[in-house]
Structure 1
Amino acid sequence: MKNLVLAVALCLANGVSPAALAADAAPTVTIENAFSPDGGAEALVLKVIDSAASSIRLAAYSFSSPHVVEALLRARQRGVDVRVLADTRRNARKNSRAALDRLVGAGIPTRLISRYVLHHDKYIVADGVTVQNGSFNYTADAATANSENVIVVWHSARLAQSYLAHWENRWASGIDYARVPRP
């Protein structure tokens, strides 16, 4: 508290408002982008997941990437509140179900949505301030075979809140994913 009072006093003595100082201390909005299969798109997606400290909300059309699954499991182990929403029809395949099974088995709330012809969203909201978006499906092919793009807007709470509201609306329309029993 003493340091805060001193900082405010120094600001006022030098003609700088405390509000201006606080604005300068706020993280700067930055943008990164990448492409695949040869331009680091998957690495940028993993960077977003690995940077999350409090929450991850992922919306997927197709979900089967082992690397994304592992990153989400690491986030969960760090105490990050992870939730995943994916298209029902697109994720009926064996590899997608195996990926979703791993998430649910680790305690990650996962829902499928069939309200739309396609739930074609592909984005992550991390910590309520960072958004990853683009054509990149969370699949191995998106990383190694397809021409895809990823864009990340870091430290934009306003943008993140817009995506988060969209995600929460879709989450409310989803149904909890049930693991496939193993023989």
Structure 2
Amino acid sequence: MNAPARHLPPGRTPDPGTSDALRHFFDVEARLLDAYAYPQWLPLLEEEFVYRVPVTVTRDDPALPPNVPGAYLVDESRESLASLWARRFEPEHIDFAWGEVPLHRIRRFVTNVVAEPGERDGEFLVTSNVLISVTHQSHPAVLAPAGRCDVVRRRPDGWGLVSRTVALDESVVRLPHLRMVI
């Protein structure tokens, strides 16, 4: 996630239209997630989609990575998100998902979206900053800043998410549910 910036040869940066389209894609995606519109969000994920949140650690040596290699708080696939997480919000299940009632109010703020061509044609590596605000009932909002690294693929109908890695800034997670980070 915190890899050094790659220096791209001229012509390797996406054109402004592609960059704008990717920013718009992430705005729409955040709106769908904030609205718990999982049936509309899941089709944005490619079949091989992987979602990971690595374990964040605070190190004395700034040269060391801020994450534990190979250790994840969340390591999910498209299938597990669809069958385990999204199903909790279906009308026939919501009455039994007590941790979701009443629903948390969530806002995702996605900024500093930077895209560069990926390793495969039609794919882009997109980094961004996210701030997640979560409020439940009358409790104060919990804020979770993070950095995100996505691989996005161009499709005939728009864009598809291939992978997402979210690096939380805090080593102590205060969010009620880690799926809110998506």
Computing the radius of gyration over CA atoms, which structure comes out larger, 1 or 2? 1
TM-score where L is the length of structure 2: 0.24
Please identify which structure carries the higher strand content. 2
TM-score where L is the length of structure 1: 0.24
Please identify which structure carries the higher helix content. 1
Q: Which has the higher contact order (CA 8 A, sep 6+)?
A: 1
